Amino acid sequence: MDLVKFENALKIGETAAIEFKRAGGTVVGIPENAAPSMVKNFISAIGNPDLFSPTLYLEPEIFKYRKKTLIHIHVPSSGEVHSFKKRIYDRMDEADVKVSATAKIAQMYIRKQEIYTERRMYPYVKLKDLRLDLLPMVRILAKNNGGGSHLWEKLSNMDLLKSAGLYAEDHATGKNGFNLAAVMLLGRDEVIRDVSPAYQTDALVRKVNVDRYDDRLTVVTNLVESFEQLFKFATLHLPDKFYVEGAERKSLRNIVAREMLVNTLMHREYSSAYQAKFVIEQDRMYVENANRARFNGPITLRNLEPFPKNPLIANFFRNIGYSEKLGSGARKMFKYGRLYSGVDPEFIEDDVFRIIQPLNENYSFDAEIANGMGGQKSSQNGGQKSGQNESSELDSTEFILEQIARNPHITRRELSKSVGMAPSAVQKHIEKLKSSGRIARIGGDRGGHWEVYRK
């Protein structure tokens, strides 16, 4: 057991991924002479098919910490849904909840699948079943995104699809064909309906008529055109606030809407019948979609571990410039979402994935900077709850640390613009990082630089 990691776990306390026996994080220890028999009994229990099915293989580790005997058990993610005494449980926050509903159990099996469902082969789908008329536009987008040149420019239609991984060989069966990713990205509408009957994205505006909707768009076409339709819907119903970064004016509305929509299209679990949504309300907008969750709970800059749910679709989107490298979308959302509304967005990982972006038409980052209040959160700034302030402060500090690590010569004024805070607020986080020994300033404000110390 790595004692540094163990001490860090003690500082963090119990989470959805770490549990102490006893609870609370206090190290009690066990009798040293009892440890071997406890490990033996544990191994016998998890290997008993009458208790666990499928049976488990775990390796408890006995170690010493401050003269106390402890047992550490690492439980890796499994590709199976395990039952205990023929009952299935799911982890919800810090509790184990019994699952009996068929739909919920089915979602758990989807979540546990080791194979990506986007790779599912459809050998009877032919070239005529795809929207080949979209490929000229795809080539132009890829060329522009590639800085003026791209491999796809010179490839035939079939070679382009093979290059994108949309036509391949299933090594389990030996069959060649188009996969689900190909159908979802470029399929004709009738083919998509046949392959994924429940697929659609329901876009709603609920600002006045909150019981029904003020405007609605139902999108059931391929993902390339779905993004364009949903993005147009977003720009129609969201304010575009003035913001300048460096010498360039940037559309905060476009950045935030784009990242939310790309995420819900790129990382959705398309084998699920759950209907995806994009909803704009008076004080927030959100997307939600079926998901193959890696864990349950909020995603922050501190625990962000990018994982591609549909790597073929994600790679296609990156090639045509709809998205950037894995994980950059969440980081951009935390940065520009705060600039757009004054409040951090929320990312919630579960069988239904959600991104919630607070909205506040009266908020202006430029006005806040002028008043010396950038980054200060109040009950008027999108309804931020006081109980979230501590978590938001931690995320802001981590975000500033990340910006300094990327550019050790960054100035406080540049940090202020980058993270969307007034210089005084940035300085508060810098002092916190300096006092904790995570950064140090080498040299003066002019010509000096930051050094980052990773713990």
String of b and e for 44-59 (b: at least 16 CB within 10 Å)? Answer: eebeeeeeebeebeee
Residue 374: predicted pLDDT: 45
Q: How far apart are CA 228 and CA 247, in angstroms?
A: 28
Flag the least confident range among 76-80, 138-142, 207-211, 327-331.
Answer: 76-80
C-alpha R_g of the chain: 25
The hierarchical CATH code for the domain 397-455 is 1.10.10.10
For 423, the token pair is 């210089």
224 has a pLDDT exceeding 80: yes
CA dihedral (238, 241, 243, 249) positive or negative = positive
Apex 238 CA angle, 392 and 347, nearest 5? 30
User: Could you tell me which of 343, 342, 369 has the C-alpha nearest to residue 424?
Assistant: 369
If phi over 0 gives left and psi between -120 and 50 gives alpha, with beta otherwise, what is residue 40? alpha
Residue 234: predicted pLDDT: 97
Count the Cβ atoms, other than its own, within 10 Å of residue 104. Answer: 13
Q: How confident is the model at residue 383 (pLDDT cuts 50, 70, 90)?
A: very low
What's the pLDDT tens digit per position in 272-298?
889 999 999 999 999 999 998 877 888
Residue 387: predicted pLDDT: 45
Taking the alpha carbons at both ends of the chain, their separation in whole angstroms is 17
For 245, the token pair is 């970064």
Instruction: Tell which wins on pLDDT, 300 or 186.
Output: 186
What's the pLDDT tens digit per position in 192-223?
999 999 999 999 999 999 999 999 999 999 99
Q: What DSSP designation does 30 have?
A: B
Instruction: Give the number of residues written for the chain.
Output: 455
Q: Parallel, antiparallel, or unpaired: how do β-strands 83-84 and 61-65 relate?
A: unpaired
Q: Can you spell out the DSSP letters for 192-258?
A: HHHH-TT--EEEEEESS-SSS-SEEEEE-S-HHHHHHHHHHHHHHHS-----EETTEE--HHHHHHH
Residue 78: predicted pLDDT: 58
Q: What DSSP designation does 274 have?
A: P
140 has a pLDDT exceeding 90: yes
Count the Cβ atoms, other than its own, within 10 Å of residue 235. Answer: 14
The hierarchical CATH code for the domain 201-309+320-384 is 3.30.565.60
385 has a pLDDT exceeding 50: no
Q: What is the pLDDT of the chain when averaged over all its residues?
A: 83
Residue 261: predicted pLDDT: 97
Q: Which helix (DSSP H) or strand (DSSP E) does residue 324 occupy?
A: none
Residue 388: predicted pLDDT: 47
Indicate yes or no: pTM above 0.75.
Answer: no
Q: How confident is the model at residue 117 (pLDDT cuts 50, 70, 90)?
A: confident
Domain positions in the chain are 3-111, 117-195, 201-309+320-384, 397-455
Q: Which of 323-332, 377-386, 423-432 has the highest mean pLDDT?
A: 423-432
Q: How far apart are CA 227 and CA 266, in angstroms?
A: 10
Query: Do residues 261 and 278 touch, judged by C-beta distance below 8 A?
Result: yes
User: Could you tell me which of 340, 331, 285 has the C-alpha nearest to residue 304?
Assistant: 331
